[in-house]
Structure 1
Amino acid sequence: MLKFTKNEIRDLIIAFLVLSVAFAISNVKLDAHQFVSILPIVMVGVALGSLVHELGEKFVATKYGYEAEFKAWPLGLLIALASSFIGMVIALPGSVFTNDDNRDDEINGRIAIAGPMANMILAVLFIVIAALIFPLKTYSDVFTLIYLICTVGFSVNSFLATFNLLPLYTLDGTKILKWNAKIWIIIFAISAIMLLSSITIGAEKMVQLIITGI
């Protein structure tokens, strides 16, 4: 069973709030009305995305017998907020730290890959739910809201997975690449395709293509 310290819960909440605001600003800039409208929708995708990412890494680390704790990175959160004004969120909320820094590359890689994989799985779940909800949109505003949450959730989690897989600085991609280059290439390619699809095709168009295919 995963255990959380008070500091960890505080850091998770702070990271969630800052990332939610950042992703909302990146979509609507400083339009107050649109910001208020989109924030709740973005918060679901960011909340789940951030939590499953960190919890995935924490879970795997715990399975290997380590004590793991998420710690927010204040500078990284400021970078995320500042970058949102140019329409692209550089998400560096923090990392999961363990009580042993002398782990080998394989364990480091396995822990690191859990976060992006969790985001990718969540993104797929979001787009599938969106496809199932799409025919029901005309019947209720609730279904329309769920549909919007799911399409945004797909895009946000595709971005979080791809961004964290970049082999830069302390991002997960660096640890995965150091452990197994082939696995990193495969996972990064899949996440990049998902992200590019959300950007070029759009989540809503993807839903229509899925429904047509079915």
Structure 2
Amino acid sequence: MRQRNKPWAGDMFAENPAFVPSNPSDRKGKWKEVFHNDNPIHLEVGTGKGQFIIGMAKQNPDVNYIGLELSSSVMVSALEKLLEEDVPNVRLLNENAEDLTSIFEENEVSRVYLNFSDPWPKNRHEKRRLTYKTFLDLYRVVMKPNSEVHFKTDNQGLFEYSLHSFSAYGMTLNNVSLDLHQSKMEDNVMTEYEEKFSSKGSRIYRCEAQFRS
């Protein structure tokens, strides 16, 4: 479904700098100062409407969460939720994942989440997939050694592609699940898409891919 354009989203971001920091590249290497603590930073690339990242932040108050979302019309919904919940350990960035190394210093991020990313099913669009090797390069630069990428999707083709991509990159695969909701995983925080697809009986695929130092 095509997202309705919300031209006022940028103004709302500007009005809430406490949750949507302006000029994020100026914060590179200084994100702990933004959160006023030394807690680890977890990054969600493609945060959508924010249900996952806000749920994780409430569940883990000793972790700082940053949600990256390219679509301002989508991210404004996450900001609205955040203003209602007033969760102090979340920040949102209306930025492109291709710019990660301009926003974060080397070894600044402790974990990356990729939830229900666009599968870009056509072969000619492979380089746009968030588990393609050039994106893995970016994650590795900004993440601490031996950190993990946590990946969830309902798309079997993307999941199989991503497992291969992670393995070809030399990452270690942990906790691979071909049916997450039938597994014994505890404290799973669902995204909006996850609730929608799982309610229709779709399988949810999940894995943790760890970089090797």
TM-score over 0.5 (shorter chain) = no
Q: Which of the pair is proportionally richer in helix?
A: 1
Q: Which of the pair is proportionally richer in strand?
A: 2
Normalising by structure 1, we get a TM-score of 0.32
Larger Rg: 1
